Structure 1
């Protein structure tokens, strides 16, 4: 099978699985009976009773947003405490010491915001308790937060109110994330991913050398890290490690898991707004950009380095996956706000790095994180409808509700969070000596390292160019703050937009209404994303990956 045929088969399986999952998700969030109700319905009711949640009480914008912030703040405090108190807690067979305050601060924020930036090496610095009770729990909660917010935004756009955050988050975990994680975790264990509490293995090699092989409860964490678009690995080199990703089948299963729920949200949107064409239009716009990026990365890596001329670029890649599966993973993980890696992105060709940077800089809206990708794309939908309204001289509408100055202002505020965070943070790193010390390379590639780190943090992605030193006090603090900024500077305005639209009366479509489900709208949406998102960063990208790629073809190195 050729690489392109394999990509096509991957897409068909992904869309089929996501479509089926969307049916289940619609029943879950609408509160209808579904296949999991007899199994977990009792547990759901007990959780509400224990937490004192009134399931019949809907929340407004302020209440919903405060609930999001409250859960996330509590998660930050819990995870920070677990990391700092690590030696005193159980399941630490290798006697790992406490995590430093700077790394604990960065890691706690990272996992709470669904970024999962790794300024640490899991097998060397974290105990099993920290991995299971700290990181894995937050993998579920941060994913559930994004999913709940997306569902609230969908309801608001369709005029049904926002719903109740605690109900949406609980259902996300119980009925979607937990069952899928159990299935994927069992499959990964079957493929050879370790799941044990026995501590590191001490072995003697054939040469008589004593070797310590790290292992642990990896399969369970890897399952939710992929399904929840979290991305933080059990091991330092993430899914390039043979214990996290031992076979081609495990690689394909994880790549499918990365995009499964984000793609399902497109179809869920169509179902919840009672117009499946709307969901298909959003999916089509995302799919066009995804395929374009994948092809650029794939053919760039196949072409290899022009200064060497020895075929495909295999530097930093696992031989068992090759250039094609590495390209697919790189596109999926940066498009989906996942951040896990099965190859070192620092070693990809500059043109491939450019695509990965753009995927993050446009706001992680090409499928994006679980839930986050959809409400991020709806931000661009608001701007697209507004621009279309200006072109035809009518008040813009979406799903029958008028898009007015308030919604556009909030959308612009949310949109500006990406360029402000990335460009301001990157500029400081480029001039402050304490920050610049983290940059491994000079010239355009060094600038790309900076851009990648700050795009990853603000976009809540979590992947990095491997040469960037992320463990310094400056970077752990700055990147931690920007992760918070990138997460909530979009969530809060989008909830406000949804609340505003929900309060408006829907008007029936007329001959003068601009259709938001056809090829023309899909094209306009893609153009809006490219023009507003990608071209915002074109000047700095021209000095980084574009300059580096041009120099390679000119036979120059830095």
Structure 2
């Protein structure tokens, strides 16, 4: 029955992807459409107040606008975190954040990572949750999606557009309407939405109990839709106030997949080649299903156990899982949240089996199994160009992508982008293992996996973690903050440069020798490029972590 529920969940998510993708293509079409009647009255005053003329920007102007505006937002919310102890809407009297923690949290939420080195309900006031956190939960995915749309425009030879106009359109026409409706749905399911302070209750044993609450429903809807993932409560979506039922769990999975799964169809429509979008969509589904099947098999089998009679038997691993959802739904959630780079959790990833943990790590290291809103799809297109380039080398022909030649300049930028990701993960992991082994709670292979997971999550802007790591200190706050910032903006800048370079080139006529990128052969080559170029980069690290742990558990 659980497998049927998983199949239905994924089927619905994938059926929603095409109409949602075509809608997004319409949203980012600068031509007049029927949508202007519904949203123009909101957008025009914002353009006027912000002095936005909607003129097209070069790739440098677009990148500077994205990075600088996001940096200013980081500084503003940093100040809110530092001053929350004396600001209003703080009925629980929560103190201001420590400087390095405020630094980490501000970068974390502005980069769509939502890595939390604090416990949700005890770390932030209501003002910080609403004015800082929820604000960034809209601004961060809108910035990333705007960057992806600009990249797609550049690939198709069109002007890149205007960052500020794209960001506003994303918020007003996509994120805000959907999250508003879903917030009401979550309220109807019993998710709290209140500004009252902590509730006091008396248990059946007569003990006093404090029950945290707050404006959770509005937080939850954009948390999942925007692939944000941070928890209002410390245990995230394992908390009954954030995930009260199987139906809410189902809706959260749909929301996490909705925008990332829709982008291939947006891409196909905007570049005028719908088949190519479908090929990428199917390729990502294949990778997701393989990874999900691995996780389900591992979590359902559990770790090998030797009973008193010396006989080995396996049993499903319920360690660290919410009993309301069980093994299968927990495994599905762990795969979807890392495939979509959301980072929300309804189970503790630290307690996953070695192979289950390996799947979540692999999703983040590849960042192409759908990936997060915008930034993940830029990675997908990067690997598509790598696949075209490798295919061109094998047949001795200059590679072409969407009618544009991929030459040395573009490949140098792509190579630098490929290198920076493992550097941001592996070097800090080695430093942490050498300088701060005392913060790692598990010995041996699993301890390595803990540190590796933390920096992988930070670099991939995911935010989930192998909890148990002693990361609430200045070293982890500063190091992961730097990794999150560079992991977010470095690749966006370099890939916008690639888009700008391709946009300036003349189109090359398609010939009989052109390598087609809209058929099953290309889908196979694309998956191969992801696995060979992406997965092998991290193989030595995962061999020393989850793979070694798995082998040591075998009798």
TM range (shorter): over 0.9
Are the counterparts in 2 of residues 307 and 553 from structure 1 also a CA contact under 8 Å?
A: no
Task: Work out whether residues 304 and 315 of structure 2, in 8 Å CA contact, stay in contact via their aligned partners in 1.
Answer: no
Does residue 504 (structure 1) correspond to residue 520 (structure 2)? The answer is no
Equivalent in 416, 421, 435 of residue 419 of structure 2: 416
User: Residues 478-557 of structure 1 correspond to what in structure 2 (within 5 A)?
Assistant: 478-554=479-555
DSSP-derived class of the 2:341 partner: coil
Q: CA deviation at 1:33?
A: 4.9
Query: Over aligned residues, Cα RMSD in angstroms?
Result: 1.1
Match among 226, 232, 247 for residue 228 of structure 1: 226
Tell me how far 1:5 sits from its aligned partner: 2.6
Name the residue aligned to 2:42: 43
Q: Corresponding residue for 1:24?
A: 23
Post-superposition offset of 1:39: 2.9
Q: Which deviates more from structure 2 when the two are superposed, residues 103-112 or residues 15-24? A: 15-24
Aligned-partner Cα distance in 2 for 1:105–1:160? 38
Check if 1:241 corresponds to 2:239: yes
Deviations 1:442-501 (A, max 9, x none): 010001101100100111110000111221110000000010111112100110000000
Secondary structure of residue in 2 paired with 1:454 = helix
Shift of 1:22: 1.4
Separation in structure 1 between the aligned mates of residue 110 and residue 541 of structure 2, nearest angstrom: 30
The 8 Å contact of residues 6 and 329 in structure 2, kept in 1 or not, is answered as: no
Residue aligning to 2:310: none
In the alignment, what sits opposite 2:329? 325
The question of whether the paired residues in 2 share the 8 Å contact of 1:382 and 1:407 is answered with no
SS at the partner of 1:30?
coil
CA distance, structure 1, for counterparts of residue 488 and residue 305 of structure 2: 40
Partner of 1:199: 197
Give the TM-score, by structure 1 length: 0.97
Q: How far apart are 1:205 and its partner, in Å?
A: 1.4
The 3-state SS of whatever aligns with 1:202 is strand
Of 394, 401, 410, the match for 2:404: 401
Partner residue, 1:125: 123
Aligned to 1:375: 378
**Is 1:151 matched with 2:152?**
no
Distance in structure 2 (CA, Å) of the matches to 1:312 and 1:286: 28
CA distance in 1, matches of 2:14, 2:300: 26
Aligned partners of 2:231, 2:481: CA distance in 1, in Å? 18
Distance 1:35 1:292 in 2: 41
Residue 382 of structure 1, CA deviation: 1.4
CA distance in 1, matches of 2:315, 2:145: 42
Query: Does the residue aligned with 2:201 lie in a helix, a strand or coil?
Result: strand
Equivalences, count: 549
Please list every run of 5 or more consecutive structure 2 residues that lacks an aligned counterpart in the other structure: 307-312
Any conservation in 2 of the 1:24–1:34 contact (CA below 8 Å)? no
The residue correspondences of 1:275-290 to structure 2 (distance < 5 A) are 275-290=273-288
Q: 1:386 to 1:164 in 2, by over 3 A?
A: same
Indicate which of 67, 82, 85 corresponds to 1:84. Answer: 82
Of 328, 331, 334, the residue aligned with 2:338 is: 334
- CA shift, 1:26, in A, is 1.2
The whole-number CA distance in structure 2 between the counterparts of 1:246 and 1:34 is 39
In 1, the alpha carbon distance for the partners of 2:273 and 2:38 equals: 31
Matches of 1:452 and 1:493 in 2, distance apart?
Answer: 25
TM superposition shift of 1:35: 5.8
Residue 311 of structure 1 deviates from its aligned partner by: 1.9
Is the Cα–Cα contact under 8 Å of residues 108 and 481 in structure 2 kept in the other structure? yes
Deviates more, 1:397-406 or 1:180-189: 180-189
Deviation at 1:535? Answer: 0.9
Alignment map for 1:58-457 (pairs within 5 Å): 58-307=56-305, 309=313, 311-362=315-366, 364-432=367-435, 435-457=436-458
User: Displacement, 1:11?
Assistant: 2.1
State how far apart, in whole Å, the 1-side matches of 2:516 and 2:10 are.
27
Q: Secondary structure at the match of 2:469?
A: coil
SS of match in other structure, 1:98: coil
Question: TM-score when scaled to structure 2?
Answer: 0.97
- 1-side partners of 2:88 and 2:257: how far apart? 34
Q: Distance in 2 between matches of 1:475 and 1:438?
A: 9
What is the rounded CA distance, in whole Å, between the counterparts of 2:330 and 2:449 in structure 1? 20
Work out the CA distance in 1 between the residues paired with 2:94 and 2:428: 33
1:130-165 superposed Cα distances (whole Å, 9 cap, x missing partner): 000010000100000110000000000000021110
Deviation of 1:234 (Å): 0.4
**Could you report, residue by residue, the CA deviation over 1:335-386 in whole angstroms, capped at 9, with x for unpaired residues?**
1111110000011100111111111112x11111101111111111111111
SS of 2:210 mapped into structure 1: strand
Secondary structure of 1:88's aligned partner? coil
SS at match of 2:28: helix
211-220 vs 22-31, greater mean Cα deviation:
22-31
Q: CA deviation at 1:36?
A: 4.4
